[in-house]
Amino acid sequence: MGGKWSSMDPMQIEVPELKTLLERDPYLAPYEKEIRKRYAIFKDYVEKIEVAEKDFDQFSLAYKHFGVHINPDNSVTALEWAPGARELFLTGDFNGWDRTKTPYKKLDYGKWELKLEPNLDGSSPIQHLSEVKVIVRNNNGELLERLSPWASYVTQPPNRSEGTTFKQRLWHPTDDKIYKFKYPKPKRPKSLRIYECHVGIATQELRVGTYLEFAKNIIPRIVKQGYNSIQLMAVMEHAYYASFGYQVTSFFATSSRYGTPEELKELIDEAHKHGLVVLLDIVHSHASKNTLDGLNEFDGTDSCFFHSGFRGEHPLWGSRLFNYAEFEVVRFLLSNLRWYAEEFAFDGFRFDGVTSMLYHSRGMGEGFSGHYDEYYGLNVDVEGVVYLMMANHMLHKLYPEMITIAEDVSGMPAICRPVAEGGVGFDYRLGMALPDKWIKLLKECKDEDWNMGDICWTLSNRRWMEKTVAYSESHDQALVGDKTIAFWLMDKEMYTHMSELSPPNNLVSRGIALHNLITLITHGLGGEAYLNFIGNEFGHPEWLDFPRAGNGDSYHYARRQWNLVDDPILKYKYMNNWDREINLLEEKYGWLHANPGYVSWKHEDDKVIVFDRAGLVFVFNFHPTKSFPDYAIGVNEPGVYQILLSSDDAQFGGENRIDTSIKHFSKPEPFANRPHRLYAYVPCRTAIILNRES
C-alpha cells in the first residue's frame, strides 16, 4: 500500500477531524504522524478505487458480475480472478463433466471470462441447482478442481460415505420462489441488547436446526426476553461444523446446513417484523485452508487471495490470511459485505478476529499492557488496519443505520472513532476482558475473597466515547473445555437440585444469586451495549460440543434444552425472569446509552458496590453471609426513592427478604462523595435498583 502521499511529510496530510480525536485523548499526540500516515494510505486506496472503477459503490457490488450467473435472457456469464492460472475451464452437469470442453477467455489483470448462449429452445444451458466446478490448469499443467470463490450456494453430500467436500450448485430459482421482504428494517436502537445465537444448535432435538424453525420458535423467545438485536453465528459456509463457523470455505454462500438462502431471508424478515436488528458474525480475518471447496490455492498458487509463505498462514488457527493490500482481495471482501447487506438485509456486522488483522503477531503472545507504543509500532499490520477503515467507511456511507462491532482484545485506541478522525470507524468493540475476569474469579477465588475494587475497575476500564459491548459470557465460555458461569457456580448440583421439589440446596441458591448479580452488574456498569449467548439467560447447563469424531458425532451437547426453562417446576426460570426484567427495565430507562456509571462506593469488607447511571442507583451486596438492615447509600438528588428491581424477589430465586413497596427518604447528609444519603436493607448476595420518584 501507499501512493501519492508516501513521500510527503505526514504532518502535511489532512485528516478532517483529527483535532477532535487529539483533544479527547492528548496522549495520542506523540503518535499523530502515524495516525496521519494510516489515514493517507486509506485515502490513497479509496482514490485508487474511484479512479480505476469510477464508482466506489459499483466496485463493492462485484458479486453481480463475478462468479457464474444466469442472465435474464437465459445466457450464462462467468468471471473469475485467478492471476496464477495458466488456463481456466467450467465444467458440470451441463457439459457432461468434460473438464476442458468449456474454456474461459483470459483478460487483463488476472481475470478470466466465459459466455454461454441460451439453448436453441431459449432455455439456459445451466439450470437452477445444477452442479458446476471451476477447473484450473496450473503452471505444472495439472488440472485442479475448484469452487468459484463467489459461489452463492454449496451443499455437502447427504451421506458421509460420499465425503464431506462441498459441491457448488447454481442458485437461480424462478421469480415466484425468490423470497420478497415484507417488513421494513427497524431503526437502529439507542441501546443495543444483543442475543448471540447459532441456528444449528437452537433446536432441542439431536440434529441441526433450520432457519425456518428458528424464525418460528426462537425469535418469539428473544423478543419476549427483551432483546432488540440478534447476532447470527456460523452463517457463512464452513466445511467443519465444529469450527463454530470460523473456518469459512465459501464467503458468499449462506450455510446450507440450516436451509436455503431464501429461508434465511425469511428468518431475517421475521426478525424485522418483531423489531429485531439482525447482525452477522462476519469472518474477514482468515479463511479455511481447504482447496477443493475453499479459497486456498484457487489459482494453483499459494497466494492469490492470501499472502504467500509464512505471512499467509495463521499458526494457531491453521488457516490462511488475506492479502489486504491486493486490489482484487479488497474488491472481494467489500463486495462480501455488500452481498449480505443488499441481498439478505442484514443490519450490521460483528467482525471476528479483528486483533489478528491489526498486528503482524496476530495478537499471539501479546500482553497488551495498554502502552500506546504497542498500537503504533512496527508490529501493527497497517494493511489490515486500512482494510477495516475502508470497510467501515463504505458501510457507514452507504447505510447510515449500519452497526459494526470489532472483536478486539488489544484495546487499540480509536478503533471505535470515525475514520474522519483518524479512527478505524467501528461503532462498538467487544469488552473481552469482562468474561475473562468472571471466569478467572469463579475458577480461582471463593466469592468471599472477591475484590470489589478490581471488579469495578474491570467493568469500568474502557476508552472514553468508544462504545463497548458488555457481556459476562459468550459462545467462547460455552464451548467444551470451559464452562458457562452457571456450570462453574453449580456444576453437578444442577443435575439433582434444580427442581422445586428437591430439598433446598445452598450451592444452587448461591449459584442462582451470584448468576443474577453478575448479569446485572455487567449489564449496568460494563458498557454501552449488552450481549448474551443463546441459553445463558437461563443458566443453560453443561458446555457446547458439536458432533465430531472425538464424541462419536453426537448432538447431545449441540442443542439448547428449552424444556429446562419452560418447565415451571425447575429453577432455571429464576435466572430467565431476572434477565428479562433487566432488559425490560433498560428499555425504559436507557442506561446503556447514558453516560458510564459512576461508582460511588466499593467496600471490601462489606462486599458492597454502589453506582449510579441514567438516574438510577444500583446497589450490590456480594457478601455470602452479611446482611445490612440500614446500609448508607450516597445519592445525588434529594427525594423519595423506590426499589424498581430486587434480586431477592421469589420470582428471581430470592428469599423475599426485601419489601419493595417501602419508600426510602433521602437525608441532606453527604455520603460517598454524594450530597445526600438514604438507608436501605441490603441482604447478602442481593442486588437492588432504586429510582427517585418524580
Query: Active-site positions?
Result: 352, 407
DSSP structure class, residue 214: I
The Cα 458–Cα 468 span in angstroms is 12
One-letter identity of residue 645: L
The Cα 171–Cα 293 span in angstroms is 17
Contact 437, 499 (CB under 8 A): no
One-letter identity of residue 501: L
Secondary structure class of 443 (helix, strand, coil): helix
Task: For the chain, give the number of residues.
Answer: 694
One-letter identity of residue 592: L
Residues 6+ apart with CB under 8 A from 606: 621, 623, 626, 628, 631
Parallel, antiparallel or unpaired: strands 403-406 and 428-430: parallel
Residue with grid cell 508490529, as numbered in its chain: 379
* 14, 278, 349, 472 from 229: Cα distances, Å: 37, 6, 12, 17
Grid coordinates of 615: 438516574
- Check residue 363 and give left, alpha or beta (phi > 0: left; psi -120 to 50: alpha): left
The Cα 427–Cα 450 span in angstroms is 32
Grid coordinates of 38: 494510516
Contact 457, 441 (CB under 8 A): no
One-letter identity of residue 485: I
272: Cα within 13 Å, side-chain hemisphere: 19
Q: Write b or e for each residue in 314-353: b if 16 or more Cβ atoms lie within 10 A of its Cβ, otherwise e.
A: beebebbbbbbbbbbbbbbbbbbbbbbbbebbbbbbbbbb
Parallel, antiparallel or unpaired: strands 167-169 and 154-155: antiparallel
Helix%, strand%, coil% for the chain, nearest 5: 35, 20, 45
Contact 381, 371 (CB under 8 A): no
Contact 133, 146 (CB under 8 A): yes
* 133, 162, 304, 438, 551 from 486: Cα distances, Å: 47, 41, 46, 11, 23
The Cα 14–Cα 117 span in angstroms is 51
Contact 561, 206 (CB under 8 A): no
Q: What angle do CA 211, 150, 114 make, to 5 degrees?
A: 135
The DSSP element (H or E) to which 513 belongs, if any, is helix 506-525
Residue 176: closest CA among 213, 235, 128 = 128
The DSSP element (H or E) to which 586 belongs, if any, is helix 572-589
The Cα 369–Cα 374 span in angstroms is 8
